Amino acid sequence: MLRYLSSRILSLGLSLLVASALVFSVVELVPGDPASFMLGTGAQPETVEALRRQMGLDQPLPLRYAAWLGAILQGDLGTSFTYKTPIAGMILERLQVSLPLALMALALAVAIALPVGTFAAARRGKAGDGLVMGAAHVGIALPNFWLAMLLVLVFAVRLRWLPAGGFPGWSAPAAALRSLILPAIALALPQAAILARVLRSALVETMGQDYVRTARAKGLSAGQALRRHALRNALIPVLTILGMQFSFLLAGAIIIENVFYLPGLGRMIFQAITQRDLIVVQSAVLVLVAAVIAVTFLVDLAYGAVDPRLRRP
């Protein structure tokens, strides 16, 4: 296990380093130089020159990368050009919305997909399977903004159970949670549908395996064999999808954030792009990339926990 863990940690560190270099150099690829790009075509040459110095663009590239990386390691992501505030604080504030939202949506997706996928696999080829998987098909096809608007109409406008949008902040935890429920459902349903389908097909495959037949020969009922033997083996492909979904939910919630007026990370990046605030874009992308790499690392660890063949050489 220790060997597995140390090899995963090493690869985590390397990935982060490579990612930081990539994110840093992408900004260098914008036409002209970042300063004139950020200020637009009508800017005064002196203003551009001032911004260049402020951004350190007069320094050589490797030096700038080293300085940037050093600052990041100390928690300094730079200052937003538009808002003149430290970016680290901005991102932290947005993460307070985006992270709980993503986690809620993911938990909900798993909570729905696990029983639904198992149910469909256990009744493979029968009416229940067809019904559930048909519904999942629709769930995947539905655009989530449409689902979001529907939820708002039913639960906020008509029934008035939950707020239609906005975020009161975590100083009022109950209200904050309530305001995240509808967006989390809108995000979770299509993901749950994908997850349920993946789980079903993985389960159907593992249930055809010899060891499930062995389990039946031992006296386990079909349901017991499925839960005790097939399910854990089927979780391996499901974990892969789960990792990808979390990364998507963290930053891909941009449309949902707009529908519900949530001050999330997706909206911040979108605004920063329209305002050509490259420093914010760069830092936010780095944070997202780091999150994706961290989740991949966790998924790798989960593989190791599930599959003994990975733990021991």
Partner 1 sequence: MIRLEDLSVAIDGRPVLQGVSLDLPPGRVTGLVGESGSGKSMTALAITGLLPDRARASGRVLLDSRNLLETPEAAMCRIRGSRIGMIFQEPMTALNPLMTIGDQVAEVLRLHRGLDRRTALAQARERLDRVGLPQPRFPLTLYPHELSGGQRQRVAIAMAIALRPGLLIADEPTTALDVTTQARILDLLSGLARDEGMALLLITHDLAVVAGMTDHVAVMQSGRVVEHGPTEAVFRQRRHPYTRQLFAASRHVPARIPPGPATPLVQVTDAVREYRLPGGGLRALDGVNLTIARGESVGLVGESGCGKSTLARAILGLDTLQGGHIRLDGQDIAAVRPMPRKARARMQVVFQDPFGSFDPRWRVDRLLAEPFHLTGRPPDWRDRVATTLTEVGLDPDDARKFIHQFSGGQRQRLAIARALIIRPALIVLDEAVSALDVRVRAQVLDLLARLQAVHGLSYLFISHDLSVVRGVTDRILVMQAGRIVEEGTPDQIIDAPRHDSTKALVAAMPKIPAGWL
- Residues of this chain that bind partner 1 (CB under 8 A): 209-211, 213-221, 224, 228-229, 232-233, 306-309, 312-313
Q: Would you say 75 or 219 has its CB closer to partner 1?
A: 219
Q: Would you say 6 or 47 has its CB closer to partner 1?
A: 6
Contact 303, 311 (CB under 8 A): no
Q: Would you say 53 or 126 has its CB closer to partner 1?
A: 126
Q: Would you say 5 or 30 has its CB closer to partner 1?
A: 5
Q: Would you say 203 or 280 has its CB closer to partner 1?
A: 203
Taking the C-alpha atoms of residue 294 and residue 9, their distance in angstroms, rounded to an integer, is: 10
What SS3 class is residue 79? strand
Judged on CB neighbours under 10 Å (0-12, 13-18, 19+), 252 is middle
Going by C-alpha positions, the residue among 52, 171, 296 that lies closest to residue 43 is 52
Q: Considering the complex, what minimum distance in angstroms separates the CB of residue 129 from partner 1?
A: 13
Cα Rg of the chain, angstroms: 24
Q: Considering the complex, what minimum distance in angstroms separates the CB of residue 209 from partner 1?
A: 6
Residue 218 DSSP class: T
Q: Would you say 170 or 211 has its CB closer to partner 1?
A: 211
Q: What angle do CA 43, 46, 50 make, to 5 degrees?
A: 100
Judged on CB neighbours under 10 Å (0-12, 13-18, 19+), 227 is middle
Q: Considering the complex, what minimum distance in angstroms separates the CB of residue 4 from partner 1?
A: 13
Taking the C-alpha atoms of residue 182 and residue 180, their distance in angstroms, rounded to an integer, is: 6
Q: Considering the complex, what minimum distance in angstroms separates the CB of residue 208 from partner 1?
A: 11
Q: Considering the complex, what minimum distance in angstroms separates the CB of residue 309 from partner 1?
A: 5
Q: Considering the complex, what minimum distance in angstroms separates the CB of residue 135 from partner 1?
A: 24
